[in-house]
Amino acid sequence: MAQSTQVRTGWYLLGPAFVAAIAYVDPGNVAANVSAGAQFGFLLLWVIVAANVMAGLVQYLSAKLGLVTGRTLPEAVGVRMTRAARLAYWVQAEIVAMATDVAEVIGGAVALRILFHLPLLLGGVITGVVSLLLLGIQDRRGQQLFERVITGLLLVIAIGFTASFFVATPPPDEVLGGLLPRFRGTESVLLAAAMLGATVMPHAVYLHSGLARDRHGHPAPGPWRRRLLRITRLDVGLAMVVAGAVNGAMLLVAALNMQGRGGTGTIDGAYAAVRDTVNPTIAVLFAIGLLASGLASSSVGAYAGAMIMQGLLYRSVPMVVRRLVTLAPALLILAVGLDPTRTLVLSQVVLSFGIPLAVLPLVALTSDRALMGDDVNHRLTTAIGWLVGVLISLLNVVLIYLTLKG
């Protein structure tokens, strides 16, 4: 049986990274990337490229931790903490999970309003219910079918946000210019931080360790583990290419069709701009992509939240109860009528504060030879990992300063 498992093709073993990649194309990305493109054109395209490269490294380290140790990142962190420290760490992770849900539920609600003219609050409730149904697939039918469903939704998202390129393509010279790192005022720095928070997602970092372990088990040291690690690198690489292309498409669509137009600072305005400047069919595909993004990322976020709670509190909470807890802030925001797009961008800023608390422990754990054995990080990987964590932390300090100053 073990031999038959090992002869399966590498393609069959792909999948966990594509589930984690949904976090990188959620409605928070739409809000941050569309705002960046509408306000600054192609200026911040380099942020998407840099964020996806960093995300690829982080996601691979997370998957490697799960495969090599047989533990999720929350479990590996929790066993090294005192009870008080573990509870404090869980609180910040829960706040991040709630901020994640705000972005995903609001995005789904906005898409349902665009497509079917539903009230935002009703759209938020529908998004929450559908995410529970998607989680039911994972619970009752297994992880592989869940991976296929989520990967299918990722394909819908990709089509929805790249369809306009079949009508109009961005100028190559301006796209290349957008790859040069630079800012233009404090608002561009704030948007860059939001884009980073929307791309390197803390809950995806926690989740990937569990996805890899649950899919591939805890293989013993040797050729089979090394093969799984190679396949995991391929899995992460392909998923990040897809996520990066979709994120780049969001910004390019906004830069091409919305720059200089009034009212494009909202997702509704972005939809209207695509409808008016491209055509209505492409605009509907844009809205469908947003809806798929909200539904898929909401279910993946709830999955991650359950894994975080189990790893840090050593207890399992019924998914319905957990879903209601994290859903409440998003529904409250919709009920009081706060601006959805601005709330989406700010939720990504909140997420950015949780990134160092996920990334830095991950780098430390995967650099520990006593824990990882022969699969410990290469010195260069460790150095780059620490550099990524420190850069993100410094950007958050700048973000706090700009927010307080504003």
What does the pLDDT look like over 168-217, one tens digit per residue? Answer: 788 999 999 999 999 988 888 888 877 876 677 888 999 999 999 988 88
Q: What is the pLDDT of residue 6?
A: 44
Q: What is the pLDDT of residue 12?
A: 63
Are 255 and 171 in contact by the 8 Å Cβ rule? The answer is no
The rounded distance, in Å, linking the Cα atoms of 67 and 212 is 6
Q: What is the pLDDT of residue 238?
A: 93
Indicate whether this model's pTM tops 0.95: no
Torsion of CA 143, 147, 150, 155, to 10 degrees: -170
Q: What is the pLDDT of residue 102?
A: 84
Q: Which residues contact 315 (CB under 8 A, 6 or more apart)?
A: 309
Q: What is the pLDDT of residue 29?
A: 80
pLDDT at 356 over 60: yes
pLDDT-above-70 percentage for the chain = 92
pLDDT at 14 over 80: no
pLDDT at 322 over 80: no
Q: What is the mean pLDDT of residues 2-19?
A: 63
Q: What is the pLDDT of residue 168?
A: 77
Residue 1 pLDDT grade (very low, low, confident, very high; cuts 50, 70, 90): very low
Q: What is the pLDDT of residue 100?
A: 82
Between helices 267-277 and 280-313, what is the axis angle to 10°? 150
**First and final CA of the chain: distance in angstroms?**
62
Are 211 and 63 in contact by the 8 Å Cβ rule? The answer is yes
pLDDT at 261 over 90: no
Question: Which spans in 117-185 are helix H?
Answer: 120-141, 143-162, 172-177
The residue among 287, 15, 303 whose CA lies nearest residue 151 is 15
CB burial of residue 54 (10 Å; 0-12, 13-18, 19+)? buried
Q: What is the pLDDT of residue 2?
A: 42
DSSP state of 406: -
Other Cβ atoms closer than 10 A to 297: 34
Q: What is the pLDDT of residue 164?
A: 85
The rounded distance, in Å, linking the Cα atoms of 130 and 255 is 32
pLDDT at 4 over 80: no
CATH of 17-405, one of 1.20.1740.10, 3.30.1490.100, 1.20.1250.20, 2.10.70.10: 1.20.1740.10
Which of 131-140, 303-312, 315-324 reaches the highest mean pLDDT?
303-312
Phi-psi region of 13 (alpha: psi -120 to 50; beta: other; left: phi over 0): alpha
Question: Which spans in 258-279 are helix H?
Answer: 267-277
The string of pLDDT tens digits covering residues 78-136 is 999 999 999 999 999 888 888 888 888 988 999 999 999 999 999 999 999 998 888 88
Lowest mean pLDDT among 26-35, 41-50, 356-365: 26-35
Q: What is the mean pLDDT of residues 32-61?
A: 92
CB burial of residue 273 (10 Å; 0-12, 13-18, 19+)? buried
* Token digits of residue 141: 């039918």
The rounded distance, in Å, linking the Cα atoms of 374 and 381 is 14
Task: Return mean pLDDT, the chain.
Answer: 86
The rounded distance, in Å, linking the Cα atoms of 52 and 247 is 9
Q: Between the CA of residue 230 and those of 60, 69, 71, 190, 235, what are the distances in Å?
A: 10, 17, 19, 37, 9
* Residue 302 backbone dihedrals phi, psi, to 5 degrees: -65, -35
User: In this predicted model, which residue has the larger pLDDT, 2 or 185?
Assistant: 185
The rounded distance, in Å, linking the Cα atoms of 107 and 130 is 14
